[in-house]
Amino acid sequence: MTRPTKTEQQKILIESITRSFAMSFLVLFVLLLGISGCTKRETRVAVGNREQTFHIGNGGEPSDLDPHTAIGEIEHDIMLALFEGLVNGDPKTVDPIPGVAERWDISDDGLIYTFHLRKNARWSNGDPLTAHDFYNSYQRALMPSLGNQYSYMLFPVKNAEEFNTGKISDFSQVGFKVLDDHTLRIILQSPTPYFLSLIIHNSWYPVHLPTVEKFGKIDDRNNRWTRPQNFVGNGPFVLKEWKVNSHILAEKSSTYWDAAKVKLNKIYFYPTESSDTEERMFRAGQIHTTRECPQPKIQVYKATKPHLIETYPLLSTYYYRINVTRPPLNDKRVRQALTMAIDRKAIVENITRGGQIPAYNLTPPGTGGYNCEAAFSENIDKARKLLAEAGFPDGKNFPKFELLFNTLESHRAIAEAIQQMWMKNLNVEVTLRNEEWKVYLDSTHRMDYFITRAGWGGDYADPNTFLDLMMTGGGNNETGWSNLEYDRLIKAAGATRDQKQRFAAFQKAEAILLDEVPIIPIYFYTRSRLIQPSVKGYYGNLLDQHSFQSVYLEPEPEAR
Amino acid sequence: MDEILPAKQVAAAAPVAGKSLGQSAWERLRKNKLALGGGLLILLLSIVCFSAPVLSKVVGHSYQEQNLALGPVAPNADHWLGTDRLGRDLFVRLLYGGRISLMVGLSATFVSLTIGVFYGAISGFLGGTVDRVMMRIVDIMYALPFTIFVILLMVFFGRNIVLLFVAIGAVEWLTMARIVRGQVLSLKQQEFIDAARILGARKRSIIFRHMIPNLLGPVIVYATLTIPGVMLLEAFLSFLGLGVQPPASSWGLLIKEGAEVMEEYPWLLAFPGSALAITLFCLNFLGDGLRDALDVRGSK
Amino acid sequence: MIRFIARRILETIPVLLIIATATFFMMRAAPGGPFDADKRMSKEVRANIEKHYGLDKPLWRQYVSYLGNLVHGDLGPSFKYPNRSVNELIADAFPVSLELGLWSLVVAVFFGLLAGLIASLKQNTALDYIPMSIAMLGICVPTFVMGPLMISSFALNHDWFNATGWFFPRDRILPSLTLGAYYAAYIARLSRAGMLEVLNQDFIRTARAKGASESNIVVRHSLRIALRPVVSFLGPAVAGLLTGSFIVETIFQVPGLGRFFVTSAFNRDYTMVMGTVLFYATLIIFLNLVVDIVQVWLNPKLRFE
């Protein structure tokens, strides 16, 4: 018996293995070719333009579409298509315009609002939409057992807070009155000049209670009435499909009172968690518009394809909180020095690069017509002097302290820049500490920090949504800062209907805030989004709220 | 290996006369130019990275010195590898990052290798109930949520570099242990182990002298593959707040950062990526060489 | 063998119990809760929500009632997605991940073995270095780079595929290649190492003496030995593949399970974390059992212990 040599063995091996692999490779290749095909396909956007189907990158998977439990922008933007409140936001300016209510009367003292509802308003199942629906919906929105996080949006209404916190249990004492099927009266606790802009918010949307009841208790968060097969709404569109992490499809509602004017037939919302993915989808012609543009690409688009990108300011402020209970940050002079030694212009021009506006105060310009007059200055010499006065000449002996931020590339870049600025300008060394989101929230809440990043977006177009933030013990203050005069001014502003007086009080209050600097404003946010020129009537605005009633798709002839 | 006891394996089972295993392995390794080259390059890379503070003075940039107005620029005479988005010199940052990545990559891999090999070898060799319990423990470790594990580590022990090894070691040794156990189970059945047993070797010496050297092939390969995985895992841990704190960086973090801007500023991905790739290639050549050198059966 | 499998299945129960217990308490010890957000809710609202989910009860009672529901197969409602149960979310997402995982597995095993075997047979030649270099690149290039590269080359520069989505058969290709590439690299390296061991043994002589046809013997015998480390690796690897990948799913907008593993932990979605962990645990225990059986099949001298 001859023994095969090593090479012979190997030859056999090679042959048999390559043979079997060659076969399977061939099969796979043919399969691939068959699947992919080679024809040039029409993009989803092009088809959409023809069929009035709007494809939106919506930034993430909505947690729910129940207007009384959902929070967050992602959910809000979809609910804008599915529901309609008494009052709508103007598509361009978000100023209050008639919604389900075709008109309203306001009493002279500003406390009583009477809404006259459209007689042709209907639910998507054909039921008429009446004042009772609103009444019952508001009762549900305020039921303590529902745990509506945005219930405070209804608190200007008389006794609403008492009912929501369980101090009273009789809803008839709350300031909602049904005068007849088409007339609803709302009585306020105190005159709230921004009341109409408040009720644009989704927490003021009506829900179809018979449907809610059909699928569980009305105060059960886990109620399944928002599933597509169960859903009943009153908006211009109806929920048709909802596949988690894939898409949401809303179709034009035939029962909407103004259906004749709605031009879109379908809207697809895609849960694009990553803005890079979203941008690639946009480039591939899969979506008409994105929620945002990846930061490094903003400049590229602006330079090469300016017709595809738009940038607009938002009602949001990026700032740092200072823990005023920790020395040396309990010294106002130290806080002022840190605030003055940051070059905000360098940050917005070189790091964020999305047209953000350097912030020298808290309330974004043009918030409900209010523009803050007070401001601190960026002044390194003065900052050094203040630091010296506080006992740290040239940063000597300045204790170790930390800057906390939640992990995100953009926050890190800003923190690194500010770390350098403080080092260079004040000779003060801050270490950086990044934490995962929920850990960061926990640390902030427990005041386990020196300085921490924060951001605040206004809920409605009025300075109150920013300035009541810093009231003593406010849930989102979280700096330990307390100033009784400040509290008094904010409360005084809330008690009057005279805009001039209110704004004067706000001005004074914000001046106190900017002198004490428990927070370091850095910039006012902007939104940069990619959008096909074929999309019409879908405007960017301060509240980043885009209603769908007047949107339509019209490709420009030369664009394709 | 069905019936005949190969002569070479018997020889391997008995103590090698004359030269020790280590000596002869070194001789074989020395002849393998590729492996030697890989090893030298790794050594060189480590020396360069660990002398980063000196080199950064030579280059004239520090790893944290920013130039916001400059921003990201492509490689040029002043900044050899370009700058990042804050205008920091990438070359120096890469060196500093390499210190952390090489240290984490090599030592975390070593930790997981040691635990994995011993755990797997003991489990496979002893067999029976011990093996079952040990392997079920591995199953449990696989399943526990890693993110939460890391967060808890930080909550209870604060942030420190040792934790990084603990966290990485805790996940990386598991597959290693299973591979080793699988190999041991089949080695156990081979004749040269029986021979050793008949010759009166004790369990411990069988494991350490005969089993482990024979496992080295897949183990070395798997270990070298683990290193880039570990370096990228480190970037994830930094995301959770464990590990490198800015403005310091690591290769993993630089790659992650670079990936976000790979279309706009490709050099920010290309250089850290290449550093990682070169390291992996060198380690693989070195690993292959080591495997060949230590493979007592493969040598003629 | 049946006794062996039966015993392993029995062992699964305490293992799952330990995993459930450890995860439950680990999760609760982690800072931050499911309802923490940047806009903080009022104390009253928080108390009401916690009452709704039973979070106001002592921890041990929550644990007991969770186990009680678990016995009935009820994983509870998701905290993050309140109108869906964890069972539903997993049931909807797993088929997607399973499909993606199987395709990736095909890619990984096919290319991995091909490269590994050829390289080992042609050791230290170009046919060794080239496939191995590609394999090592596959390991070096992280998924978050590979995915975008795939998209920009095959979906943006060439209109062959959709950039994202999971709607058409062709949408399976890019994610499967991206996910499979990484595992292919491992398999290539491990199978090459395994084959080299085999090639250094000369057992084929004996096999030939028995008179079987040559290529059959060579392939069967060498592969059996060479594949052992690959098989050990495949146990956890397949579990990883079948439960999806966060990165691939995010890049390609695939509605799979992988995202939930990561996001549930970040959201502190307690029930979802428990659900995904237990699901993964069951899968990995099962696959490791399969691996152990395959090991015996590959090496008939092993017995089921």
Clarify whether residues C142 and C14 are in a common domain.
no
B141 is in which domain, residue-wise? 32-299
Mean pLDDT across chain A: 90
Task: List all residues 6 or more positions away from A167 whose beta carbon is below 8 Å from its beta carbon.
Answer: none
Residues of chain B in contact with residue A412, where contact means CB-CB under 8 angstroms, are 246
Q: Which residues, in sequence order, are bridge partners of residue C77?
A: C85
Q: Is the pLDDT of residue B5 over 70?
A: no
Cross-chain Cβ contact A417/B86 below 8 Å: yes
Q: How far is CA B57 from CA B63, B65, B67, C59, C61, in A?
A: 10, 12, 17, 56, 61
Clarify whether residues C141 and C58 are in a common domain.
no
The more confidently predicted of residues A26 and A279 is A279
What pLDDT band is residue C206 in, cutting at 50, 70 and 90? low
Among A225, A228, A221, residue whose Cα is nearest residue A209: A225
**A416 close to B (CB below 8 A):** yes
- What mean pLDDT do residues C65-94 have? 93
Cross-chain Cβ contact B69/A419 below 8 Å: no
Task: Give first-to-last CA distance, chain A, whole Å.
Answer: 76
Clarify whether residues C108 and C234 are in a common domain.
yes
Q: Output Rg (C-alpha) for chain C, integer angstroms.
A: 24
Task: List all residues 6 or more positions away from A180 whose beta carbon is below 8 Å from its beta carbon.
Answer: A131
Mean pLDDT across chain B: 81
Q: What is the DSSP letter of A531?
A: B
Q: Does residue B23 form part of some domain?
A: no
Q: Does residue B27 form part of some domain?
A: no
Question: Architecture of domain A313-527 in CATH?
Answer: Roll (3.10)
Among A479, A290, A456, A475, residue whose Cα is nearest residue A367: A456
- What mean pLDDT do residues B143-171 have? 85
Q: Report pLDDT for B13.
A: 40
**C21 close to B (CB below 8 A):** no
Q: Report pLDDT for B11.
A: 38
Clarify whether residues C107 and C242 are in a common domain.
yes
pLDDT tens, position by position, A157-175: 999 999 999 999 999 999 9
Q: Report pLDDT for A25.
A: 62
Q: Is the pLDDT of residue B203 over 90?
A: no
Q: Report pLDDT for A93.
A: 87
Contact C261, C279 (CB under 8 A): no
- What is the domain-level CATH number for residue B40? 1.10.3720.10
pLDDT tens, position by position, A456-502: 998 888 999 999 999 998 888 999 999 999 999 999 998 888 889 99
Domain boundaries, chain A: 53-290+531-553, 313-527
What pLDDT band is residue A393 in, cutting at 50, 70 and 90? very high
Of A13, A28, A227, the CB nearest to C83: A227
B143-152, B185-194, C165-174, C241-250: least confidently modelled range: B185-194
Q: Which chains touch B (3 or more CB pairs under 8 A)?
A: A, C
Omega prior to C131 cis, within 30 of 0: no
**A460 close to C (CB below 8 A):** no
CA distance B238 to chain A (A): 8
Residues 244-303 of C with CB under 8 A from B: 261-262, 265-266, 273, 276-278, 280-281, 284-285, 288, 291, 295, 299, 301-302
Contact B290, B32 (CB under 8 A): no
Of C33, C44, C215, the CB nearest to A144: C44
**B86 close to C (CB below 8 A):** no
- Residue A150, class by beta-carbon neighbours within 10 Å (0-12 exposed, 13-18 middle, 19+ buried)? buried
- d(CA A135, CA A171) in angstroms, rounded, equals 10
Q: Report pLDDT for B215.
A: 78
Clarify whether residues C148 and C193 are in a common domain.
yes
**C37 close to A (CB below 8 A):** yes
Q: Report pLDDT for A449.
A: 95
- Residue C215, class by beta-carbon neighbours within 10 Å (0-12 exposed, 13-18 middle, 19+ buried)? middle
Bridge-based pairing of strands A112-117 and A101-106 is antiparallel
Would you say the pTM of this structure is higher than 0.95?
A: no
Residues of chain B in contact with residue A432, where contact means CB-CB under 8 angstroms, are 245-247
pLDDT tens, position by position, B19-55: 566 677 778 788 888 888 988 999 999 999 988 888 8
Of B218, B228, B273, the CB nearest to C193: B218
Domain count within chain B? 1
Of B189, B255, B291, the CB nearest to C301: B189
Q: Report pLDDT for B4.
A: 35
**C144 close to B (CB below 8 A):** yes
Q: Report pLDDT for B15.
A: 43
Q: Report pLDDT for B16.
A: 42
CA distance A272 to chain B (A): 16
On whether ipTM exceeds 0.95, the answer is: no
Query: Which chain C residue has the Cα nearest residue A38?
Result: C160
Q: Report pLDDT for B142.
A: 87
- What is the domain-level CATH number for residue C200? 1.10.3720.10
Clarify whether residues C132 and C206 are in a common domain.
yes
Q: Report pLDDT for B243.
A: 80
CA distance A436 to chain B (A): 5
Q: Does residue B21 form part of some domain?
A: no
Q: Does residue B2 form part of some domain?
A: no
- d(CA A96, CA A197) in angstroms, rounded, equals 6
Residues 432-451 of A with CB under 8 A from B: 432-436, 439
Task: List all residues 6 or more positions away from A400 whose beta carbon is below 8 Å from its beta carbon.
Answer: A429, A431
Among A209, A208, A133, residue whose Cα is nearest residue A176: A133
**Total count of residues recorded for chain B:** 300
Contact C19, A426 (CB under 8 A): no
Q: Report pLDDT for A201.
A: 92
Are domains A53-290+531-553 and A313-527 of this chain identical in fold?
no
Q: Tell me what percent of the residues of chain B surpass a pLDDT of 90.
A: 16
Query: Which chain B residue has the Cα nearest residue A350?
Result: B68
Clarify whether residues C176 and C156 are in a common domain.
yes
- d(CA B168, CA B150) in angstroms, rounded, equals 9
Q: Tell me what percent of the residues of chain C surpass a pLDDT of 70.
A: 92
Domain count within chain C? 2
- What mean pLDDT do residues A359-365 have? 94
pLDDT tens, position by position, A284-304: 999 999 999 998 899 999 999
**C5 close to B (CB below 8 A):** no
Clarify whether residues C177 and C123 are in a common domain.
yes
pLDDT tens, position by position, A118-141: 999 999 999 999 999 999 999 999
Q: Is the pLDDT of residue C214 over 70?
A: no
What pLDDT band is residue A419 in, cutting at 50, 70 and 90? very high
pLDDT tens, position by position, A215-236: 999 999 999 999 999 999 999 9
C195 is in which domain, residue-wise? 95-255
Task: List all residues 6 or more positions away from B156 whose beta carbon is below 8 Å from its beta carbon.
Answer: none
Residues of chain B in contact with residue C259, where contact means CB-CB under 8 angstroms, are none
Q: Report pLDDT for B182.
A: 84
Residues of chain A in contact with residue C169, where contact means CB-CB under 8 angstroms, are 35
Q: Is the pLDDT of residue A443 over 90?
A: yes
- What mean pLDDT do residues B108-126 have? 89
CA distance B256 to chain A (A): 10
Residues of chain B in contact with residue A416, where contact means CB-CB under 8 angstroms, are 64, 66, 86, 246-247
* Count of beta carbons in the 10 Å neighbourhood of residue A328: 18
A489-493, A516-520, B285-289: least confidently modelled range: B285-289
Q: Does residue B105 form part of some domain?
A: yes
Residues of chain C in contact with residue A151, where contact means CB-CB under 8 angstroms, are 45
Clarify whether residues C20 and C158 are in a common domain.
no
Q: Report pLDDT for C220.
A: 72
Clarify whether residues C100 and C234 are in a common domain.
yes
**B85 close to A (CB below 8 A):** yes
CA distance A21 to chain B (A): 24
- Name the amino acid, one letter, at A236: P
Among A229, A255, A252, A232, residue whose Cα is nearest residue A242: A229
* A523's tokens: 């910039």
The more confidently predicted of residues A484 and C160 is A484
pLDDT tens, position by position, A539-552: 988 888 889 999 99
Q: Report pLDDT for B17.
A: 41
**A294 close to B (CB below 8 A):** yes
**A23 close to C (CB below 8 A):** no
Please state which of the four CATH numbers 3.40.50.300, 3.40.190.10, 3.60.15.10, 3.10.180.10 is assigned to the domain occupying A53-290+531-553.
3.40.190.10
Clarify whether residues C8 and C106 are in a common domain.
no
**A350 close to B (CB below 8 A):** yes
Q: Report pLDDT for C270.
A: 94
Q: Is the pLDDT of residue A36 over 90?
A: no
CA distance C19 to chain A (A): 23
Clarify whether residues C246 and C189 are in a common domain.
yes
φ, ψ (nearest 5 deg) of residue C269: -80, 85
- Name the amino acid, one letter, at A319: Y
Q: How far is CA C2 from CA B165, C285, C286, in A?
A: 41, 17, 15
- d(CA A530, CA A294) in angstroms, rounded, equals 10
Q: Tell me what percent of the residues of chain C surpass a pLDDT of 90.
A: 38
* B270's tokens: 């290309």
What pLDDT band is residue A31 in, cutting at 50, 70 and 90? low
The more confidently predicted of residues A41 and C266 is C266
Strands, DSSP E only, in A217-356? 237-243, 247-252, 266-270, 309-322
Task: List all residues 6 or more positions away from A22 whose beta carbon is below 8 Å from its beta carbon.
Answer: none
Q: Report pLDDT for B77.
A: 85
Q: Which chains touch A (3 or more CB pairs under 8 A)?
A: B, C
**A40 close to C (CB below 8 A):** yes
